[in-house]
Amino acid sequence: MEKVEVRFLPQNKTVEAMIGSCLMQVAREAFIDIESSCSGKGTCGKCVVQHVDGVAEEPHHDEIKHISAENLAQGMRLACRSKISGAAEYRVLRGAGKKHRILSEGLMPAFNLNPNIRKEYVALEKPKLEDSLDDVARIERELGLKFGEKLPLSLLQQLPRVLRSGGFKATLILADGELIGIESGDTTSLCYGAAVDIGTTTVVVSLVNLVTGEELAACTMINPQKSHGLDVLTRIQHVREQPGGLDELSRMVRECIDTLIGEACAMAEVPRGNIYEITVAANSTMMHFLLGVDPSGIGKSPYVPAFTRGVNVPARDIGLDISPFGGVYCLPSVSAYIGADIVAGILSAELADKDERALFIDIGTNGEIAFSSKEKICACSCAAGPALEGMNISSGMRAADGAIEKVFINGDVEVRTIGGKAAVGLCGSGVIDAVGELIKAGVVAPSGRFVRLQPGDARAWAHRLQNGDGPASFILSAGKDGGSISITQKDIRQVQLAKGAILSGILALLSNLGIGMQDIDRVYIAGAFGFHVRMESLARMGVLPHELLDRVTLIGNSSKSGAILCLLSKEKRREAAFIAPKIEYTELSCFPNYDKLFTDCLSFTGI
């Protein structure tokens, strides 16, 4: 079939594409970031591009549904519904060139520096007739160790050359006491590792000096898999329905991690060949994708993953470019929906070591909740959905310049945006803040409905409430391009469903334990959900009672912190392996009368 050139702006990237291929797919293969929350099904209307030059087809009916006639006339199209008809140029409109704000900092408890990887310089006695020990035995004698029979073939192949070329002076790389590699000369000062947090929405890579324990650089990126859906179930569906879908999504996350490792090495001026281990914390689905394991069992009842235990694999087997001796350690998970990211969070918050009744909440694209006490740790997962991250919201966007992140209604409305830029949309903290302020101001009733204004209502915000014949909405801010940033009744409903899922999960977990909110000593909130949102907004929505707010501790990206702990401490790694199988998982769908509990939790009232 004929190939033509397609150019993307403002990236100024030109690629070849087959006639008849989908523009969205062409963009994905070219690593062009185009927003899409429906995985290219034409239902979200967010993958808007502008046809600038060349050949374009007539608008698809989905484009007519989501794009006004005026904008269609100006070349606006949906990337998922546009077919390549000839050479063309398109401008990516949503989020192009924006710098996203991704949380990379997290609580780091005290620990003993004792990494799994260590280097040892040796100056061996050269062989002679009266001392003809083989090379491996010569090293064992020097170190006072026995390596057994599991020496890597690559090590044995390099060993004679490296020892003899360096006059039997070399640096040994050991992993938990086992010899995995050898380098000529003294390279003991060059010993690094990487800790990785793979979220459904974001990926974070931290470069760490294994000798000093110092974090040298942290790099972040939006998870490129988002082009195949904002949640794990949509991505699992892609694997089931599309031939090669698993390979595609695995490649995406691996290339993302490899790119971030390269960026971190460039920032710290560290050779990536001196990275010897990568530790990974991720939810169960992302861990399956990383290793190229089919996650389909996670996506349907009875929700069974292929594995939950910690896994060690050679880095080269999953396409990560570090030392040829390098390995990847994947932290253990608990179940299909309580992943290694939660185990890492529990580890970094030291919940298993504390004599307190603590609630651990990590709300992202999905919501995980754990309760710990001296006696046990139990956990559940709730389908919070992506609304609290700004997705599935009419004006929603990820945290980037111009995103409304704070809302204040004291008479009229005041908004604050990331970077102080003109408002272009609502990120997750802005959505929560907006709903909390609307409840406080009486714009939204406990039922979640906008109030009905009486004629002549003199309240300063009254002119912003649009609930006439069309869809009800509340104008928060004038937009950058003359439009407005609003929150709609449908948006309120999305937030309400997320709030109901979180609160019902908390109450179900506590009910199983026979305790109430008043019995909680401490609440740990992980991730960007808690780091940027105002706690009083959560209380106004009824997620947490006001009396618990002074017991809240924000612990940031605890998933990355846990991965770093497992990189720098063999004791912490063993602790993670010990904790994970002891966490009791509660399946909410099996909780008695859960549907009623969930419905009761939808109301925007205090607990």
Q: Give the predicted TM-score (pTM) of the model.
A: 0.82
Flag whether pLDDT at 265 surpasses 50: yes
Q: CA-CA distance, 106 to 468, in Å (whole number)?
A: 46
Whether residues 299 and 218 fall in one domain: yes
Residues 220 and 352 in one domain: no
Q: What is the pLDDT of residues 205-239, one digit of tens each?
A: 999 999 999 999 999 998 999 888 888 999 999 99
Q: Are residues 441 and 375 in the same domain?
A: yes
Q: How far is CA 565 from CA 98, 108, 176, 382, 424, in A?
A: 32, 8, 15, 27, 38
Q: How far is CA 253 from CA 246, 258, 576, in A?
A: 11, 9, 24
**Could you tell me if 503 and 369 lie in one domain?**
yes
Query: Is 252 within a domain?
Result: yes
More confident residue, 531 or 4: 4
For residues 478-499, average pLDDT: 83
Q: Are residues 176 and 243 in the same domain?
A: no
- Is the pLDDT score of 45 beyond 60? yes
Mark whether 145 and 199 lie in a shared domain.
no
Strand order through the sheet with 192-198: 215-222, 202-209, 192-198, 275-282, 327-330, 311-314
Residue 376 lies in a domain: yes
In this structure, the answer to whether residues 405 and 367 fall within a common structural domain is: yes
Domain ranges, residue 390: 342-452+484-607
Residues 276 and 294 in one domain: yes
Domain count, the chain: 4
Would you say how long the chain is, in residues?
607
Position 478 confidence tier, pLDDT thresholds 50, 70, 90: confident
My answer on whether 132 and 227 are in the same domain is: no
Over residues 566-592, the mean pLDDT reads 95
**pLDDT one-digit tens code per residue, 418-444:** 888 888 888 888 888 999 999 999 999
> Among residues 330, 352, 381, which one ends one of the domains?
330
Residue 105's pLDDT is 66
Strands 169-175 and 117-123: antiparallel
Same domain for 305 and 371 = no
Cβ pair 201, 398 in contact under 8 A: yes
How crowded is residue 126: how many other Cβ atoms within 10 Å of its Cβ? 11
Q: Are residues 397 and 536 in the same domain?
A: yes
Examine the domain organization and report whether 518 and 598 are in the same domain: yes
pLDDT reading at 78 higher than 80: yes
Q: What is the pLDDT of residue 97?
A: 47
Residue 110 scores a pLDDT above 80: yes
Q: How far apart are CA 280 and CA 282, in angstroms?
A: 6
